[in-house]
Amino acid sequence: MMMKKPLALGIDFGTSNTVAAVLHEGGKTEVLALDGDRDLLKSLLYFPTRNESYFGRQAIEQYFDRGMEGRFFQSVKRLLPNPDFSGTSLFGRHISIEDLIARFLEGLRQRIEEKVGGKLDGIPVFFGRPARYSLDSAREGLAVVRFRTAIGMAGFDMDQAKLIEEPVAASFAGARAAGDVKPKGKTKGPITLIADLGGGTSDFTLFEERPHGIHTFAVNGISLAGDALDSDFFTARLQNFFGANIQYQRPFSSNVLTMPTALVKLLPKWHHHAFLRERATWNFILVLRKELVDPEQTPLLENLITLVEENLGYRLHMSVEELKLHLSSEDVREFGFKSYPIDIAFPVSRTEFETVIEPSLSGIAASALETCRLGRIKPEEVTRLQFTGGTSKVPIIRERLSSLFPHAKVLDQDTFTAVAEGLALHGMEESDASS
């Protein structure tokens, strides 16, 4: 059934996930299912060959079905402000960062057009962008130019496309959730801290809505978020099941060696397991079968070999994600992962999990307080705390950040889709301003 032509479209191109929402008459927003029946489209790209590409969940499926051959990209948004990264080699041909992102956005545009039942001609499209790509003005400008270029290359009408700061978009959705009326005259809105806690980074924006627009006090962030929490748990409770503590001895040598640190550091990140299959590394792992000091560690080495050989890294990653999700509402959860000969099972309490992630949690909390220091706003002056991003669903993170701002009201909304819906709602702001 064809959807009635929307009034506006909001696209939240995120580091980990991408979300799109449309604005209908009467101010109603609708989040589009972009990946099957799912609202979230993982911001992933996979090229098995030069002329083939896959996106989202299908990128992961194809990547493993084809034995992790080809090029797999994630978190490409982070590369936008990096002047040292102009592009990469794709099967012997240089592909720019703009073209790489454009490939993803083009596939996204096609999926959106399928959902709305036609081309996006004449529909205002609002793209989210960080409040700051970089504190360096040159890098900031580079990121904006690159993103706009990629949007044009992806086939969007640049006369209809506009970049909106993600915290501003989230504030529109937050204001609707709180039942706010837009400030009139000399009235100021609440001092708001938006905590955007995603997969790769935790970003904070401190601002106040004023009669003539948003006044941003400070923007800050840290490279600690959901992925870091997963890695914390993997390092503390899982890596030894895969030989991280193995000891081996080379022939004719008296030295007892341990598993190389560089190899162990690849284990928590499933998308880095392809490096374990490089010839030299893989041969090293296989040779260890004959060089173990303690034969009782053989099952651990076999777990590692199976993990890599059977491409089980993503399944293991999802098991950790599932555990984290359940511990958001349960006090104890059994962690389990089986794929012969791997057989791991043990209970994990929420308290234990919180202890494991404490270093990352402390870093995130410190970054939030630093945002206030940079903005010369006392934590007690913050009167609204708004969460976006999936990592904000972890209870201890919400509790810790909320405790730092004792006078702040916490807004309840969909943390995954708030930015996209706010971007679509910006179409109403544009209409009001032009009328």
Q: What average pLDDT does the segment 39-51 reach? A: 90
The answer on pLDDT for 6 being more than 70 is yes
d(CA 232, CA 63): 25
Nearest Cα to 133, choosing from 205, 191, 74? 205
Q: Which helix (H) or strand (E) holds 257?
A: strand 257-258
Task: Give the per-residue pLDDT at 339.
Answer: 92
Q: What is the residue-averaged pLDDT of the chain?
A: 89
Q: Is the dihedral of CA 387, 389, 395, 400 positive or negative?
A: negative
Q: What is the pLDDT of residue 182?
A: 52
- The pLDDT score that the predictor gives to residue 134 is 81
> Which tens digit of pLDDT belongs to each residue from 297-320?
999 999 999 999 888 988 999 899
pLDDT, position 243: 94
Instruction: Tell me the average pLDDT across 229-237.
Output: 94
Instruction: Name the nearest CA neighbour of 308 among 277, 269, 338, 285.
Output: 277
Reply yes or no on whether the pLDDT at 184 is more than 70. Answer: no
Query: Is-above-0.75 flag for pTM?
Result: yes
Q: Per-residue pLDDT tens for 338-354? A: 999 999 999 999 999 99
Measured distance CA(56)–CA(28) in Å, rounded = 27
Instruction: Classify residue 168 by burial, with Cβ atoms within 10 Å: 0-12, 13-18, 19+.
Output: buried
**Residue 99: CA atoms inside 13 Å, Cβ hemisphere, count?**
10
CB atoms within 10 A of CB 347: 10
Q: Is the pLDDT of residue 230 over 80?
A: yes
Across the chain, which distance is largest between two alpha carbons, in Å?
84
Which domains are delineated in the chain?
Answer: 8-159 (3.30.420.40), 187-412 (3.30.420.40)
Percent of the chain topping pLDDT 70: 95
Contact (CB, 8 A) for 307 and 273: yes
- What is the pLDDT, as a whole number, of residue 91? 87
User: Is the model's pLDDT at 405 over the cut of 50?
Assistant: yes
Residue 183 predicted with pLDDT over 50: no
Cα 76 to Cα 104: distance, rounded to the nearest angstrom? 10
- Which token pair is 134? 């970089």
How far is it, in rounded angstroms, from Cα 293 to Cα 257?
Answer: 9
CB 93 within 8 A of CB 105: no
- Taking residue 330's Cβ as centre, other Cβ atoms within 10 Å add up to 12
- Most confident range (mean pLDDT) of 26-30, 143-147, 200-204, 223-227 is 143-147
The answer to whether residue 287 scores a pLDDT higher than 60 is: yes
Whether 435 shows a pLDDT value over 50: the answer reads: no
Q: Judge contact between 298 and 345, C-beta under 8 A.
A: no
Give the confidence band of 415 by pLDDT, cuts at 50, 70, 90: confident
202 has a pLDDT exceeding 60: yes
Residue 366 scores a pLDDT above 50: yes
* Nearest partner of 413 among 376, 378, 385, 372, judged by Cα: 385
pLDDT tens column, 82-101:
999 888 888 888 999 999 99
Strands 17-23 and 384-388: unpaired
CA nearest neighbour of 150 among 77, 226, 211: 77
Q: Quick one: DSSP state of residue 135?
A: S
* Higher-pLDDT residue of 67, 114: 114
